Structure 1
């Protein structure tokens, strides 16, 4: 596994409970992506939200996987708040949904090829159809669903090699990997040296949002910074524990860490 921090991608970070979170804004992100595509130098990007940070506290593998990415962007106001509490604020929330214009508008303008890999069968195709309509000129090099894991939650090596070959055959400049955490981070870590796409971005369930509508979060939700409540209202059974018990535990750990640091 390549170590993070290639000279081209040196930037300031903040430690959020063991996760190295990047202190960059969308302008820096776009410049890094452009340089990676132009130089064909690998740039890996993932996202840190409170749920992942909390799990990484107890999971050494997940913590190592996330810290092995070149950029680890703040996904969620809980991470933004933690960075402020620790005295090293990040520019703002930078989840996939916040960066749609950057992730697809920039490739459309530059003529780059984008590949969507992940989520349930049919979702990536629906997302691809929408982003093509929203960003005229965008080239979708290909799509693949992400339901390949075995009963142990891992993609068998032979299957992964075949998927890598299929992705490489499409010659994408940017690869979005939506397999869920930690499977997506593990896939990128294990195959980044075999994947020819210079920019590789994890995205969780992002394709589901793109398949539905361009602005997944209404403007008033983003303005009030209550995206987590909006998602909880939409998927209460799946998310209630994450946004109640686990979020409370995360905030307690952040405050305790701050007190110890003082």
Structure 2
């Protein structure tokens, strides 16, 4: 099926220009027709990584939808003259993913994060969305010393997922491993909707609205995350984010607006 839609080029990453309502329609259509829809996200960190790694950039752009994860990407689309309607990070789409799944009886599978995280997230989701059919959970610690999932383990995961017959698969293995897993196995996965989700399962294992309302209102998600995990995230949200902003403005000066 053709999932054609409008996109905007953000430093080489083709970001989808659609809103949550249209996204929900595409999910429903994919599940109703059993045709695959792959979804990933673009934030400044992913965009900067994709600039340095052509293979990662190609993988991200091979997904059917690349949603704007973070105000840094939303800002860039506005500066480039082709704004996306809104930010659409995983945390923004919790009702779309799980509220709709509970309402329509869409079977959900959670793969990712440390052992025990997916189970806790599943327990919370069942409480928040009564009737939600979660048909499988699995941790995401499968990579070996090379940073890849060994073929035998990948085969096992694919078989376990297919046996559970989910309609939606959330894959939280971190970038680039989650994109690698999806692109290498999407033709073997009998799942209509496959979504990469990074640390989303960790957020769901804590609380439904992971970002406090005031953080969202002031668009300070990056600062909130930095305050929670400064040792791991200081470089991403200082030096790398600054470099990203400079590159966005430099690109706008050199190339003008997109039309």
Q: TM-score range by the shorter chain?
A: over 0.9
1:119 to 109, 113, 116: 113
Per the alignment, residue 96 of structure 2 pairs with 102
> In the alignment, what sits opposite 1:195?
189
- Residues 207-248 of structure 1 show CA distances to partners (whole Å, capped at 9, x for unaligned) of 000000010000011001000001111111111110000000
Aligned residues: 256
Aligned to 1:15: 9
* Structure 1 gap ranges (5+): 1-5
How big is the shift at 1:181? 0.2
Long gaps (5+) in structure 2: none
Distance 1:29 1:164 in 2: 25
Q: Which residue in the other structure is 1:3 paired with?
A: none
Q: Which runs of 4+ in 1 moved over 3 A?
A: none
1:158-184 per-position Cα deviation (integer Å, ceiling 9, x unaligned): 110111000100000000000000000
Listed one character per residue, the Cα deviations across residues 21-67 of structure 1 (whole Å, up to 9, x for unaligned) are 00000001000000000000000000000000011111011101100
Deviations 1:122-163 (A, max 9, x none): 000000000000001100010000000010100011110111
- 1:34-73 matches, within 5 Å, as 34-73=28-67
- Distance of 2:53 and 2:82 partners within structure 1: 25
Asked whether 1:135 is paired with 2:132, we answer no
SS at match of 1:240: helix
Shift, 1:83, TM fit: 0.2
What TM-score do you get using the length of structure 1 for normalisation?
Answer: 0.97
| Alignment match, 2:200 | 206
Question: Structure 2 length as normaliser, TM-score?
Answer: 0.98
- Residue 233 (str. 1) matches residue 215 (str. 2): no
Q: Residue 115 of structure 1: CA displacement?
A: 0.1
**Residue number among 157, 160, 164 corresponding to 1:163 in the alignment:** 157
